[in-house]
Amino acid sequence: MIWKGAISFGLVHVPVQLYPATHSEKVGFNLLDKRSMDPIGYKQINKNTGKEVARDNIVRGFEYEKGKYVVMADDEIRAANPDQTQTVDILAFVDASDISFLSLDMPYYLAPDRKGEKVYALLPDALKDTGKVGIASVVLHNKQHLAALIPVGPALALNTLRWGDEVRDFSEFAFSDEDTKKAGVTPKELDMTKRLIEDMSDTWDPAITKPSATTSW
């Protein structure tokens, strides 16, 4: 569990617990000295000189131009962080189809807490019936996030969203014209592609696509 708090909108206050919705199955390895099996340590190296830098001489800096930095003290960084809260503040409810897959970032589960099961149970059904998701503001790990409150079966998921300027615009790339006729696609070719999609359509089952564990170095 990450924290206990509440979903809040209007006069509604839903006590919840926040949990990660995913877990990693990466296999990790330590770097060792093969002669003695001793762990290999980590050194802070000056990238220009190649020399090791003592911890006392290391500061944090924000690069505002290439090669130019503003040095930030630890207390300044802490002051810039938003206050940690345990509230999912709903800003608005929007059509689920309005949320692009490109905007989805990290998923979490919100479970009912402190005998809030009844009011909690209302939300997934209400969101499903209306076809809406909640757009929320939430602070996680000392960082302000935009998030989507999404019904998933009997549960509520909280999926953090990328900010608008974090998703690259279509105009940066040379895509085909959205109008298939302008792209040179014939109706016959389009019908053939649709039939192929129908022939290969199936029910989504994430278990059948799971590869072997990924190695992490």
Point out the domain boundary residue: 28, 55, 80.
Answer: 80
Neighbours of 135 (CB within 10 A): 18
DSSP characters over 131-154: TEEEEEEEEETTEEEEEEEEEETT
- 3-state SS assignment for residue 123: helix
Same domain, yes or no: 99 and 134: yes
Same domain, yes or no: 14 and 61: no
Same domain, yes or no: 56 and 132: no
- 14, burial (CB in 10 Å: exposed 0-12, middle 13-18, buried 19+): buried
Q: Is residue 217 domain-resident?
A: no
List the pLDDT tens digit at each of the 217 positions of the chain: 888 889 999 888 899 999 999 887 777 778 888 888 888 887 888 888 888 888 888 888 888 888 888 888 877 766 666 666 789 999 999 999 999 999 999 999 999 987 788 889 999 999 999 999 999 999 988 888 999 999 999 999 999 999 988 998 888 888 877 777 778 888 899 999 999 999 999 988 877 766 665 555 5
What pLDDT is attached to residue 217?
53
What pLDDT is attached to residue 215?
54
What's the Cα-to-Cα distance from 212 to each of 207, 209, 216, rounded to whole Å? 12, 10, 13
CB 158 within 8 A of CB 108: yes
Same domain, yes or no: 97 and 156: yes
Q: Is residue 28 domain-resident?
A: no
CA angle 189, 194, 196 (to 5 degrees): 95
Domain that includes residue 193, residue range? 1-20+83-203
The pTM for the full model equals 0.72
Residue (of 25, 24, 30, 23) closest to 217 by Cα position: 30
What pLDDT is attached to residue 136?
95
What pLDDT is attached to residue 104?
94
Same domain, yes or no: 94 and 187: yes
